[in-house]
Each structure stands twice: as structure tokens, then as C-alpha cells.
Amino acid sequence: MERSCLAIVLAAGESTRMKSSMSKVLHPVGGRPMIAHVMEALSQADIASAALVLGRDAEAVEKAARRGDMTVSSYLQTERLGTAHAVLAARQAIAEGFDDILVVFGDTPLITADPLKAARKGLAAGNDIVVIGFETQAPFGYGRLVIRDGALVAIREEKDASDEEKNITYCNGGLMAINGRKALSLLEQIGNSNAKGEYYLTDIVEVANAQGGQAIAVAAPEAELMGCNNRAELAIIEAVWQRRRRNEMMLAGVSMIAPETVFLAFDTVIAQDVLIEPNVVFGPGVTIESGAVIHAFSHLEGAVVGREAAVGPYARLRPGANLGAEAKVGNFCEVKKAEIGAGAKVNHLSYIGDAFVGEKTNIGAGTITCNYDGVNKHVTTIGANAFIGSNSALVAPVTVGDGALVASGSVITQDVPADAVAFGRAHQTIKPGRAKLLREKYLAEKAAKKQAGK
């Protein structure tokens, strides 16, 4: 039978070292709050119940952590008396009776499902405590795992460790699985007589051992257990996350010429055979369909790029930009909340916002949809196979029909019927010989001035 599991997510920290007006677990990694990454890992590990232990910004943290596939309850830890005290804030949830209790930290966003599953496996094999450890060159500050004959004897915190124990490089990642039937009684036996005067969750190992229980450690990659205490660490975590995500994408068939210059969001979807050139930034909500090319220095957010379409170089797709198959949005163009039909082209220096552009329509260089009157936004609708001449301003609300042609330099304020030509500019006049006359006049004036000066 499947074992039930409650994950307890500790997120009551003050975040002092972040020097921030919000809790650190709300700071984004890959465009979403750190704590949401932790919740995602829990979900990937098939954990259906979570208890959040909250302090600062409780409401916002709860909102960021909530997800549809998990029952999430919240508990406030009003005083910060240590990690064991924090876990006990969720006493009520533990008392509901689960086979497994998994304690995780809200500030370790790089954790994946694998170590969580491994820890639970350790419980299923009959252990009472399974600690997720990691080997590191820099153990300072971490709890050290004291192992004897393969069993975990104790976890010693930095401040309480002997010189000999400080040499241990196998450290506590901070995440542990506890036998759910024994958890409450074990936790309640933890005291606070240590260097920090805190209730250490790590003492649960010695408490369990003293009662003839079994504790072990399972190793996970150091990178997965990286915790975030300040913004310098946040930047390192972001870099690790980006590298991981780019690798996954490349292995799934996405080409990147200079992957280290491409920045992805948590929900970026890129199909096979897409080419991403250097220096491209994906904000949240972007989908790129197969065969598309994103040229260098483009910025995309909330956009869909259709099959075989091309974007950039130097293009900006804002939320609601939706490019059909084989459409093109070229250099120095901005597209916002607009459908660009299949095969349509917006190749140079244009702003297309709140608009529909039909299939195979050509938008000339410098075309602007004037969508805003200072108060409201209005829609520009352009049919299929239309041609908008360069440097036109389309003053919305306005419609240009299928196959219509707008002369370049036009300011279009009235609807243009299908297949019509619209001129919205002054007529050109020619004055023969006038340029020559003017030139001679100017030259004569200049010569006269020079002579007077002497």
C-alpha cells in the first residue's frame, strides 16, 4: 500500500540578510517565487499534503505556495525558537497521522524530487530518520553528519561541534524524513541546551537513536541543497537554475549558440528544432513552436511564436503577442497584445499593439498602431494580404480590409475597404528649377556676408 506523506515547509525566517521588504522565499528564481520551486519539487515527488510554517509575509507566502494538486495548510510560528520549534508549529497537521513526515526549507529552491523520494524510500525500508546530506569543500556553518558503521549517530551544529567534528565534510542539507507515527513524540523530546539556545531539529537524530531507533543519511548533489540567505547567493542560485533548465532544453532538441547568454523563465516552453541565438531573455509565459528562430538580443514575455516563425534580432514581444506560423517580426519592432497572422511580416522599426494582422500581410518599416488616446486603448484590425506602406500611423480604432494598400507616410484615421488604396498624406507638388534658384540665392548671400566681414 502507498505510504501517506506530509511535507512541512519551513518558511518562518526573518530574511534579515536579504535586506528586503519581503520574505526571502518570495524572491524569484526563474521568474517565480523560491517557495513555488520547493512546492513543485514536492509535487514531482508525488506528495499530496503540505503544511507551511510561516512568519513574515504569511499571506503572500501562502499564496505563492498554494497549488491545485496539493492540500496546503498554514501555521504561524510567532517566535523563532529553532527548527524543531518551527516544525512543531505544524503539530496539528502531524497529529492527523501520516506514514512519512518530510521537512523541507522554503529557501532551497534547487531541490528536485529525487532526494525527497530517496528519503522516503529510507523510511519505507524501516528507518525512523533519513537525513539528506551532501559532501562539500566548504562545510563551515552546516550541521555535520556523524556517521558510524553506516548509521547516522548525530548531527552536530557548527557552534556545538568539536574540532574533530568540524573536519567532517558530509553535511546536513537541512531536509529530512521522519517516521510519521513517531514524529510528534520524538520532536517533543528535543531540548534547547546548546550554543544557540535553540530547539534544533537536528537533535532528533540523537533522540531517536537513544530510543533504539534507526537513522541514516542519503547523499544528494550539493547544488540541490544550496540555501539562499542573501542576494549574492540568490544570484548564484539563479545561475545554477538557468544552467539546469537550458541543459534540459538543449537535450530536448532546442539549439542555443551561446546558452550562457539565454535566460529562461520557469514556464518557458520551447519546441524541438527551435534555434535561440545569443542574448535572448524569456520572461514568463512564452511558448515557441517548432522550427522557429529567435535571433539575438530579443526580449519575449507572455508571447506565442508559431512554427517556423522568426523574431529579431532586437525584437520585443510583450504579453499577448501571438505570431502565426512563418510570421516575421524583425529588428526594433515591438508587438503587444496582437495577432500576427501566418506568413505576415513586421520587419523593421514598428509598434503593433492591440491589433490583428491578417495572413501574409506586409507591415512596412516604421508603421505604428496608435492604440492609445491617453485614456483608452483601441484596436487596429488589418486584413489578410494587405500592404501597409512605410512610416504609416494607423489611428485606432481603425480597420484596413483584406488586400488593401496604405500609401507610405499615411496617417489613417478612417477605415480602408478591402482592395482599396488609401492615401493619408499631403499631395506631392513639383516646382521645376526652383532648387537651383534657391541654391544660387543662398550662395550669393553667403558670399556677400563674407565680403562684409573683411
Beta-bridge mates of residue 388: 363, 406
Residue 301 interacting with ligand UD1 (CB under 6 A): no
- Closest distance of CB 14 from Mg ion, Å: 12
Q: Which residue is nearest to ligand UD1 (CB)?
A: 143
**Shortest spacing between CB 178 and ligand UD1, in angstroms:** 13
Nearest to 363 by CA among 373, 355, 375: 355
Which string of x and - marks every residue 190-229 that binds Mg ion (by CB under 5 A)?
Answer: -------------------------------------x--
Cβ proximity to Mg ion: between 24 and 316 the closer is 24
Q: Which is nearer to ligand UD1, 226 or 309 (CB)?
A: 226
What is the rounded distance in angstroms from the CA atom of residue 379 to the CA atom of residue 397? 5
246 binds ligand UD1 (CB under 6 A): no
Considering the complex, what minimum distance in angstroms separates the CB of residue 150 from ligand UD1? 20
155 binds, among ligand UD1, Mg ion, none (CB under 5 to 8 A by kind): ligand UD1
The interface mask with ligand UD1, positions 51-70, x = CB under 6 A, is --x-----------------
Interaction of residue 202 with ligand UD1, rule CB under 6 A:
yes
Which of 27, 37, 41, 83 is in the footprint of ligand UD1 by CB under 6 A? Answer: 83
Compute the distance between CA of residue 417 and CA of residue 387 in angstroms, rounded to an integer.
13
Using CB under 6 A as the binding rule, whether residue 134 contacts ligand UD1 is answered as: no
Q: Is the Cβ of residue 17 or residue 360 nearer to Mg ion in the bound state?
A: 17
Residue (of 15, 22, 90, 29) closest to 241 by Cα position: 29
Taking the complex as a whole, the smallest distance from the CB of residue 374 to Mg ion amounts, in Å, to 51
- Residue span binding ligand UD1 (CB under 6 A) among the ranges 169-177, 324-332, 392-400, 420-428: 169-177
What is the C-alpha to C-alpha distance for residues 121 and 115, in angstroms, rounded to an integer? 10
At residue 160, φ and ψ (nearest 5 deg) are -110, 0
Give the integer Cα–Cα distance in Å for 60 and 73: 14
Active-site residue, 27 included: no
Residues with Cβ within 8 Å of residue 63, at least 6 apart in sequence: none
Cα gap 411→280, rounded to integer Å = 34
**Shortest gap between Cβ of 227 and Mg ion (angstroms)?**
5
Minimum gap (Å) between residue 7 Cβ and Mg ion: 18
Q: Does 74 sit near ligand UD1 (CB under 6 A)?
A: no
Question: Which three cell numbers, joined as nine digits, stand for 143?
Answer: 550541521
**Closest CB 213 distance from ligand UD1, rounded Å:** 18
Nearest to 143 by CA among 156, 129, 126: 156
Residues 380-409 that bind ligand UD1 (CB under 6 A): none
With DSSP H G I counted as helix, E B as strand and the rest as coil, what are the percentages for the chain, rounded to 5?
Answer: 25, 30, 45
Nearest residue to 108 (alpha-carbon basis) of 16, 41, 160? 41
Cα separations (Å) of 275 from 149, 241, 259, 287, 293? 52, 21, 11, 13, 5
Q: Which is nearer to Mg ion, 55 or 227 (CB)?
A: 227
CA separation for the pair 110, 112 (Å, rounded): 6
316 binds, among ligand UD1, Mg ion, none (CB under 5 to 8 A by kind): none
Task: Of 183, 193, 208, give the one whose Cα is nearest residue 159.
Answer: 193
Catalytic residue list: 348
Q: Provide the binding-site residues for Mg ion, judged by CB under 5 A.
A: 227
Q: Provide the binding-site residues for ligand UD1, judged by CB under 6 A.
A: 10, 12-13, 53, 77, 80-83, 85-86, 105-107, 142-143, 155, 157, 171-174, 200-202, 227
